[in-house]
Amino acid sequence: MELFEAIAQRASVRQLEAVDVPEEDLKRILDAGRRAPSGMNRQPFEFVVIRKRETLQALASAQGCIGDVSCAIAVVADPERSRFWLEDIAAAAENMLLAITALGYASVWIEGTLLRDEETHKRTLGVPENLRLMIILPIGKAAARVTQAAKRALEEMVYWERWGERRG
């Protein structure tokens, strides 16, 4: 799928069905995350690939759809490695979401529900105390057709040359 099509097609899909995710696709998705820009190129992120059914089901207490897929990627951050760590993991996550979409899968950025009980989920994945378990991206197939949430119009958020100036 072409880049601009993937950007437009990406949507948060919360009702997911399990689908086979071959190693080759998984590596392309992870590589998209690895290639994300990061402040001073510190790359303060690591990824945990989760394929075991019992682990996916344990993580479903964060958000149910994790238990419905055959594969998920957890994004782990090391805040001591860069003061830009939050931005850096967001760039990595978005790169992976676009790759997931481009390869024909569906996903959703799971962070808010994960952080409600980060400590429990860190234990499930064996993430060290000093690191943060910030995001999980389940990889599946959309159970029903889902489109991207409505976005504000460009005209509403873009100014020209100076803040507040619309194009005349």
Binding footprint of ligand FMN on the chain (CB under 6 A): 11-12, 14, 63, 108-113, 148-149
Nearer residue to ligand FMN within complex by CB, 152 or 167: 152
Q: How far is the CB of 24 from ligand FMN (least distance, A)?
A: 26
Q: How far is the CB of 83 from ligand FMN (least distance, A)?
A: 18
Q: Are 80 and 18 in contact (CB under 8 A)?
A: no
Q: How far is the CB of 80 from ligand FMN (least distance, A)?
A: 21
* HSE-CB for 34 with a 13 A CA cutoff: 8
**Closest Cα to residue 168, out of 153, 154, 155?**
155
What is residue 30's three-state secondary structure? helix
The letter for the amino acid at 92 is A
Q: How far is the CB of 78 from ligand FMN (least distance, A)?
A: 18
Nearer residue to ligand FMN within complex by CB, 71 or 138: 138
What is residue 99's three-state secondary structure? helix
- Phi and psi dihedrals of 45, rounded to 5? -135, 150
Nearer residue to ligand FMN within complex by CB, 75 or 168: 75
Nearer residue to ligand FMN within complex by CB, 153 or 166: 153
